[in-house]
Structure 1
Amino acid sequence: TQPTKPVILSFQVSAVQTWSLPGNPPINTSRSPVTGPCSQRKECPADHFSFLVQSGAANVVAPKICIENDLYELPLYWFRAFWVCKTGKVLKTTNFDTYSGGEYKVEEMKPGSVILMASFDEPSSKLNDEARNLIAELGSSSIQKLGYRDNWVFVGAKGGLVKSNFEKYIKNDKPNNKYDNWPELIDLQGCFPKTLE
């Protein structure tokens, strides 16, 4: 078995910004009561991580990602990637801009790493085939069809998984959108094993 190491990615696509997490701790560091913005609807076994991944809403409400009830709110106009060890502590952050284009370092993930992704605003414009294929290799079955202003959340892993059960996708469909030009936000909660078989 391989120990898992979560990585958090949130698609934000309006501007390239550099931001690093050290000095900016999680907003909620309490692990005792399961209440507030990171509330889980069920308890996770001791050998699993609890997580909550929520996409953004239109280009107004930023996505949020929680690991073990620690909230990492993702500011507007930023794409963040968190590399965290199996205890849930952040080791590295990376920024991407999927609107203007750029390099994607998803391939640098080590086997046993878990990745958490959430879309915001417009995640697909410059998400090239190479990046889509890398994310598909992590277990995504929806990344290849991710289109203009679609909403998408995903939790996968490098090594150990072929297809992830932790993924939700809503297509941008103007007549049925909740927010005019954007679909409603997506909420995904669950438990992910700390080791991959």
Structure 2
Amino acid sequence: MRCTVTVRVALVLLTLFTTWYFAGELYPNKVDMKSLRRIFDNKEEEAPTEEKVKFSCGNDKPCPDGYFAFRIISGAANVVGPSFCFDNIIIMSSVRNNIGRGLNIALINASNGTLIKTGSFDMYFTDVKLLLEFLKPVQDGTLVLVASYDDPGTNLNEEARALFTSFGSSYAKKVHFRDAWIFVGGKGINTESPFEQYLQNNKETNKYDGWPEVLEMEGCIPRKTK
């Protein structure tokens, strides 16, 4: 008896879906699969959600002509490395295998947006002289993008801090053990950069065990024309 009932139910369902299929072939504009599914689910059809438009580098707003879009994400604790996007190109990331613990830095030509070079400096183990050798030759008209990962400040001396300050940083003198820091400045800007975020390593407020939360920043940088 139970087997007979099961067969009958199966035949009914087969008939229903066969009818739906041929009706869809004959009257394609009158058959809605979502409506059919609603018969079985007994749920109200959800209104379609409007997909949020993303712009260059996945930013929420477009940049005007003559500006470069950027997005920087700091490292997450000592687990996930930082990421740099500039003019809709990922220039530093774990996938590109050109980031490391400490300070991650990208130098970019502010006139044409081309990448000059990148560097990663472990400020817990690396001699700060390597960082100074990387930064001192930077020429006017060069953008300097920085993101921390794990520990950006242990061996960061006063000379290195002064260099970052000359690039427009307001927080370079405060960066210490396991602080979070992202920054975009440049050689010869002669003003404080509006593109900088900093979080102090504080066990009372840290999101992760021993590290502050991830920092993320997006914006538009004017192309240097002179």
The TM-score normalised by the length of structure 1 is 0.75
| Structure 1 partner of 2:75 | 56
Amino acid at match of 1:82: A
CA distance in structure 2 between the partners assigned to 1:165 and 1:48 by the alignment = 15
- Aligned CA distance change for structure 1 residues 54 and 196 (closer, same or farther; 3 Å): farther
- Aligned CA distance change for structure 1 residues 159 and 182 (closer, same or farther; 3 Å): same
**Structure index of larger Rg:** 2
Q: CA RMSD in A?
A: 2.1
Is the 1:112–1:196 Cα contact (8 Å) retained in structure 2?
no
Amino acid at match of 1:84: I
- Aligned CA distance change for structure 1 residues 95 and 181 (closer, same or farther; 3 Å): closer
Taking every aligned residue pair, what percent have the same amino acid on both sides?
A: 38
| Structure 1 partner of 2:113 | 88
* Greater per-residue strand proportion: 1
Cα deviations by residue, 1:53-77 (Å, 9 ceiling, x for unpaired):
1110100010001001111343363
CA distance in structure 2 between the partners assigned to 1:160 and 1:82 by the alignment = 17
The TM-score normalised by the length of structure 2 is 0.66
Q: Which runs of 5 or more structure 2 residues have no equivalent in the other structure?
A: 1-52
The count of aligned residue pairs is 164
CA distance in structure 1 between the partners assigned to 2:221 and 2:152 by the alignment = 25
CA distance in structure 2 between the partners assigned to 1:190 and 1:137 by the alignment = 21
| Structure 1 partner of 2:201 | 172
Detail structure 1 runs of 4+ shifted over 6 Å in the superposition: none
Higher relative contact order (CA 8 A, sep 6+): 1
Is the 2:146–2:182 Cα contact (8 Å) retained in structure 1?
yes
Give the drift of 1:96. Answer: 2.5
Q: Which residues in structure 2 correspond to 1:23-62 (within 5 Å)?
A: 34=54, 38-62=57-81
